[in-house]
C-alpha cells in the first residue's frame, strides 16, 4: 500500500521498530525515568537497580536465540500462515490458563521468574505467538501480580527491539546503505502508524491485565487463530 518493496523493506522495518520503542517510552515514561534516575544517580544497590538487573536476566534467552539461531528463526517466518494460526492458538491457551488461575500475590518478580518469562519471550519469536501475551501469561502463571507483569512485560521488550533494529541497521549498511527508494511520505505514514498503534496497544494491554480481562484477548487470539488455520487448510 505504501509502495515499499525489495531491499527497502529493511529500512522500513527499522523505522517501524523505532516507532514501537518510542511509543513504549511515551506510555511508560514515568516508570522508565524512575528506573533511569534510580540506576544512574546513586552508587547504592537499590530497588531500581534490582529491577533493571531482572530485566537484563529476562533478555538472556532472546539474546541467545537472536545470536545463535537467527537463520532458523528467519526460516520459520517463511513457513506460511498455518504457523501463524497455530501461534495465535497457543497464545490463546496461555492467556486462558492465566485468566482462570487464582491471582498471584508475589510482591516482586524474582530473578528465576524473570528468566522463565524471558524464555517465553524467546519462544514468542515464532510468528503468531504474542510477545506481550506470552510473557504476561507466563508471569501470571508463576504467581506474579497483574500490575507487576503488565509493566515488566513492556519494559523487558525495549532492549531486544532496539537490538533487533541495530542488527538490521548494520545489515543494511553492509549491503549498500539506507534504502533511498522509500518516499518520505511512506516513511512518515509508517512511523506514525506504528507509533500510534504502539501507544494504543501498550495502554490497552496494560489496562486489560490490571482489570483482569485477559480472557478477551484470549478469545480474540482463538477466533483469529481458528480462522487462519481453517483458511490455510481449506
State the Cα–Cα distance between residues 113 and 207, nearest whole angstrom: 22
**Number of domains within the chain:** 1
Question: Does residue 52 have a pLDDT over 60?
Answer: yes
Share above pLDDT 70 across residues of the chain, in percent, rounded to a whole number: 85
pLDDT given at position 2: 46
Lookup: cell for 184: 518520505
pLDDT given at position 99: 82
Q: Taking a C-beta distance cutoff of 8 angstroms, is the pair 154, 206 a contact?
A: yes
Q: What is the pLDDT of residues 96-141, one digit of tens each?
A: 888 887 767 888 999 999 999 999 988 888 888 888 888 988 998 8
pLDDT given at position 117: 95
Question: Does residue 10 have a pLDDT over 70?
Answer: no
CA atoms within 13 A on the CB side of 49: 8
46 in a domain, yes or no? yes
Query: How much is the average pLDDT of 59-83?
Result: 77
Instruction: Please give the backbone phi and psi of residue 126, each rounded to the nearest 5 degrees, phi first.
Output: -70, 130
Question: Does residue 3 have a pLDDT over 60?
Answer: no
Number of other residues whose CB lies within 10 A of the CB of residue 192: 11
H or E, element range at 88:
helix 81-100
1 in a domain, yes or no? no
State the Cα–Cα distance between residues 27 and 230, nearest whole angstrom: 36
62 in a domain, yes or no? yes
pLDDT given at position 130: 83
What is the band of 210 on the pLDDT scale with cuts at 50, 70, 90? confident
Q: What is the pLDDT of residues 86-95, one digit of tens each?
A: 889 998 998 8
Q: What is the pLDDT of residues 149-179, one digit of tens each?
A: 888 988 888 888 777 777 767 776 666 555 5
Q: What is the pLDDT of residues 26-45, one digit of tens each?
A: 888 888 888 888 888 877 88
63 in a domain, yes or no? yes
Lookup: cell for 8: 527497502
State the Cα–Cα distance between residues 161 and 15, nearest whole angstrom: 12
pLDDT given at position 109: 93
pLDDT given at position 129: 86
3 in a domain, yes or no? no
2 in a domain, yes or no? no
Question: Does residue 225 have a pLDDT over 50?
Answer: yes
User: Higher-confidence residue: 210 or 215?
Assistant: 215
What range does the domain containing 74 cover? 8-233
Amino acid at each position: 500500500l505504501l509502495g515499499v518493496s525489495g531491499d527497502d523493506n529493511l529500512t522500513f522495518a527499522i523505522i517501524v521498530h523505532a516507532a514501537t520503542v518510542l511509543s513504549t517510552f511515551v506510555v511508560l515514561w514515568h516508570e522508565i525515568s524512575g528506573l533511569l534516575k534510580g540506576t544512574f544517580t546513586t552508587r547504592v544497590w537499590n530497588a531500581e537497580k534490582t529491577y533493571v538487573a531482572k530485566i537484563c536476566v529476562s533478555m538472556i534467552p532472546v539474546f541467545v536465540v537472536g545470536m545463535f539461531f537467527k537463520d532458523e528463526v528467519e526460516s520459520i517466518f517463511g513457513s506460511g500462515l498455518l504457523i501463524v494460526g497455530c501461534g495465535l492458538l497457543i497464545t490463546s491457551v496461555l492467556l486462558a490458563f492465566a485468566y482462570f488461575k487464582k491471582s498471584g500475590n508475589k510482591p516482586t518478580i524474582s530473578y528465576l521468574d524473570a528468566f522463565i518469562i524471558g524464555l517465553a519471550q524467546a519462544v514468542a519469536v515464532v510468528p503468531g505467538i504474542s510477545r506481550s501475551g506470552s510473557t504476561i501469561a507466563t508471569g501470571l502463571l508463576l504467581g506474579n501480580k497483574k500490575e507487576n507483569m503488565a509493566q515488566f512485560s513492556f519494559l523487558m521488550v525495549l532492549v531486544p527491539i532496539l537490538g533487533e533494529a541495530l542488527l538490521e541497521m548494520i545489515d543494511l549498511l553492509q549491503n549498500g546503505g539506507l534504502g533511498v527508494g522509500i518516499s518520505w511520505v511512506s516513511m512518515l505514514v509508517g512511523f506514525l502508524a506504528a507509533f500510534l498503534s504502539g501507544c494504543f496497544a501498550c495502554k490497552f494491554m496494560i489496562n486489560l491485565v490490571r482489570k483482569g480481562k485477559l480472557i478477551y484477548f484470549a478469545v480474540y487470539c482463538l477466533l483469529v487463530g481458528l480462522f487462519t488455520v481453517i483458511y490455510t487448510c481449506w
